Every structure is written in C-alpha cells, then in structure tokens.
Amino acid sequence: MSVRGPIIDFPPEASCFDLEGLSLAYGETPALQELTLRVPRHRVTAFIGPSGCGKSTLLRALNRLHDLNESVSRRGRIRLEGQDIHAPEVAVDELRRRVGMVFQTPNPFPMSIYDNVAFGLRLRGGLTRRRRDDIVEWALSAAALWDEVKDRLRASAWSLSGGQQQRLVIARTLAVKPEVLLLDEPASALDPISTLKIEDLIRSLKGQLTLVLVTHNMQQAARVSDYTAFLQQGRLVEYAPTDTLFTNPRLARTENYITGRMA
C-alpha cells in the first residue's frame, strides 16, 4: 500500500525539480515506476531505500546521464525550474552544467589539482586566466580543500587521499556554478572523518544551491537532509520532512526500513 500525494510543506513555487509520473526502464526491466515528487530549492533532499530500489537511477535521470545508454526508456516528465529538461530546445551539456553531479567513487581526472577544477571552466572558455584562478580558489575554498592543497595545485589529483579527492570533485563541480548538486552516495567510499567533512560541506552549501543526496546511510540522511524520500522497488513509498519521516513515519514499511527491520 503506497501513499500518493506525499506530505509536503513547501509551496509549488519553491520547488526546483518537479517530477510527474516518471517511469524508467532498462530494456524490459522497470527501474522507476510512476514517480511524482517535488524537490525543494536550496534544501537538501535525501533519497533512501534498499539496494536496487532505483534511487541512483532517479538521480541520474535528473541530469540526463541515461542519455548515453540506448537501452533506457522513459515516460513522464521532469521539470527543472518549470522547464521540461527533455524539451528539444534544452542542450544536454548546458543542462549538466546547471545540474552538477558527484559520484560514489571519487573520480578526479588524471591531471593536476588545478586542471581538475579548471576543467569545466575551460570547456566554455572566455575567461581570463586571472578570473579562472579566482574561480578555482573560490571553488576549492567552498569545498573546504583550499588550505590543504594551496601549495601544490600543480600536483597530480591522484596524489590526494580519497576524502580529499571527493572534495576536489565537489570543487570541480562547484566551479561551473551549478544550480543543483546531485550527490550519489558521496561518502560511501570514505573513512568516518572524511565522511564528516563531506557532510559539513553539504550543510554549508545548501544556502547557495539545491542538493539531492542518495545514501545508504540512514544516519547520514537524518543528519544532513531537510527532506527524505523513501523508495522501494522503483516506487516512492513515503516522502516527508526528514524529522517527520525518521521520528514518525506514516507507514509500517518505512518504519521497518529505517529501524533496520527490512521486510
């Protein structure tokens, strides 16, 4: 028994993403079914759920990374700030600049720290070197990495630790000034201290941009997110402000999952 019309306490004009009956399938295998939900602007929204529930699939749908995979079919609509992201006039590279993404495995490019952060800037060009330097410094500071790397910007990005690499990837994404930051289990490959740093970073960023977080870690979702959506088998089960969902879930299935008694 799933509940449609989740509890939301923000007006429609405060939503950043607006999903309407979104269904997605890999070949014949459905991954998302009839998903309808709104993601609030300048807040942290967490997607939780068991493995294979479709939460990463949903995240990748938001910046059209599925375009690469020919076997993926889609129905329904995703609107970003009111505009359908699949409309023909939307350029996919432009969309991805507005909707940045950080992956589970830290994936810095095999180049220097500076070049990694400047990668997105150089794609569009048109910046003076001075301006680019400023943005790189700003992005690294915003990702709380500047103090650790400012003396070795020319060093290879692969010489950084895992946690530093993940923050570098976040800085790289921030440098192109996205409106939305999608985080696909950004801390699952990191040690506890690095995880805490990433979580602090998420909290510090939410004033400036919309964050969507996919996580396995319930405590993490509870710690950093404002809203939480619980997905199961490609369907939205419950979607509520995080406090409500974790303290007072409406459905037994949700409660079982967050308390660790998975059916």
Partner 1 sequence: MSAVRAALQRRRPRAEGAGAWLAAGCVALSLLLLGALLLLIAVRGLGHFWPASVSLVELDDGRRLAGRAVRELPLPDGEGRERLYFTGNRGLDGQVWHWLPVARIVAESRPRDLVVLERRRWGDFIGRLVAVEPAPDAVAAGAGNGATAWAQLEARLAALERLREARDTLQRETIRPLARRLEADPGDGEARRALAAATARAARLRAAMDETILVLESVDGRRLRQPLDEVLAARRPNALSTWEKLAAWMQGVWRFLSEGPSAANSAGGVWPAIFGTVLMVLVMSLLVTPFGVLAAFYLNEVAHQGRLTRLVRIAVRNLAGVPSIVYGVFGLGVFVYGLGGTLDEWFFSDALPTPTFGTGGLLWASLTLALLTLPVVIVASEEGLARIPDHQREGALALGATRLEMLGRVVLPMAVPAMLTGVILAIARAAGEVVPLMLVGVAKLAPQIPVDGDFPFLHLDRKFMHLGYHIYGAAFHGDDVQAAMPLVFATALLLVLVILVLNLTAIFLRHHVSTRHAAPSRR
Q: Which of 54, 100, 186, 234 binds partner 1 (CB under 8 A)?
A: 100
Smallest separation, CB 86 to partner 1 (Å): 16
Q: Which of 146, 158, 188, 218 binds partner 1 (CB under 8 A)?
A: 158
Q: Which of 135, 157, 183, 231 binds partner 1 (CB under 8 A)?
A: 157
Site size with partner 1, rule: CB under 8 A:
30
Contacts of 262 (CB under 8 A, 6+ apart): 50, 256
Smallest separation, CB 84 to partner 1 (Å): 19
Dump strand ranges (E) for 66-164: 72-80, 83-84, 99-102
Rounded Cα distance, 135 and 151, in Å: 17
Stretch of 22-30, 105-113, 201-209, 235-243 lying at the interface with partner 1 (CB under 8 A) = 105-113
How many Cα atoms within 13 Å fall on the side-chain side of residue 45?
Answer: 28
Rounded Cα distance, 232 and 160, in Å: 36
Rounded Cα distance, 176 and 173, in Å: 6
Residue linked to tokens 């998903």: 35
Stretch of 22-30, 45-53, 115-123, 202-210 lying at the interface with partner 1 (CB under 8 A) = 115-123
Site residues for partner 1, 196-255, by CB under 8 A, read none
Q: In 3-state terms, what secondary structure has residue 260?
A: coil
Q: Provide DSSP, 77-117.
A: EEEETTEETTSTTS-HHHHHHHEEEE-SS----SSBHHHHH
Residue 138 binds partner 1 (CB under 8 A): no
Residue 94 binds partner 1 (CB under 8 A): yes
Give the total residue count for the chain: 263
Site residues for partner 1, 35-74, by CB under 8 A, read 63, 65, 68, 70
Smallest separation, CB 202 to partner 1 (Å): 17
Of the pair 37, 102, the CB lying nearest partner 1 is at 102
Is the separation of the CB atoms in 15 and 40 below 8 Å?
Answer: yes
Q: Applying CB under 8 A, which residues contact partner 1?
A: 63, 65, 68, 70, 93-94, 96-97, 100-101, 103-105, 107-111, 119-120, 123-124, 156-159, 169, 172-173, 176
